[in-house]
Structure 1
Amino acid sequence: MATDDTSTTTTTTRTVGTVRRVARTIARLAGDFLIVTCWVVFLTLVFLETAWPGWSFYLLLVLGIGLYVTITAAWTDSDRDQ
């Protein structure tokens, strides 16, 4: 009987861990989507207002997203996910 309880507890713990990991991933993706969308909208509004050249829009877009990815990549704790 003790083996059955341990097996059930281990399975429950794994299931809860998986659900938390999936929820954390979905929240992270939603946050990333929101930040990148705000950056694109901000740049679009600035460039429509100022009529700066189009190549600089794309340059700032790529640099901004690259900087965001570089900064947020360090926030991931891979040891905790394993």
Structure 2
Amino acid sequence: MVRTEITDSTDSEPTDSTGSRSTDRTLSRYLLGGARLLTDLVVLGLWTIFLTLLFLSTAWPRWAYYVILVGGAAVYVVVTAPWIRSPETPG
């Protein structure tokens, strides 16, 4: 009897029968995603509080508050978007 071993050419990392490496990878992605979400919430929340206190103390127009609030959030997204690694695609 000839024994042949079938291997998948797309997955070069060794794993055990439970697939622990892929589980570890998935868990780390969830943790990094959660940390990123929490960081975004804190930064944008602090930006909102800062602008609110600034505009309440200066009596500037409300429309300017919303323009600067949305503009600041947009700048934050543009600056931090390249920091996210895209998932590795096989190929």
- Shared fold by TM > 0.5? yes
For the aligned pair, the TM-score class normalised by the smaller chain equals 0.7 to 0.9
- TM-score normalised over the length of structure 1: 0.86
Specify the code of the residue in structure 2 equivalent to 1:39: W
Work out the percentage of aligned pairs sharing the same amino acid. Answer: 40
Identify the match of residue 49 of structure 2 among 41, 47, 50. Answer: 41
Q: Structure 1 runs of 4+ off > 2 angstroms?
A: none
Change in Cα spacing, 1:69 to 1:7, as seen in structure 2 (3 Å) is closer
Is 2:36 the partner of 1:28?
yes
Unaligned runs of 5+ in 2: 1-13
Give TM-score scaled by structure 2 length. Answer: 0.78
After TM superposition, give the deviation of residue 77 of structure 1 in Å: 1.1
- Greater helix fraction, Structure 1 or Structure 2: 1
- The residue matched to 1:33 in structure 2 has which SS? helix
Instruction: Kindly report the root-mean-square deviation, in angstroms, between the aligned alpha carbons of the 2 structures.
Output: 1.8
Gaps of 5+ in 1: 1-5
Report Cα offsets for 1:12-57 as digits up to 9, x if no partner.
0000000000000000000000000000000000000000000000
- Length, aligned pairs only: 76
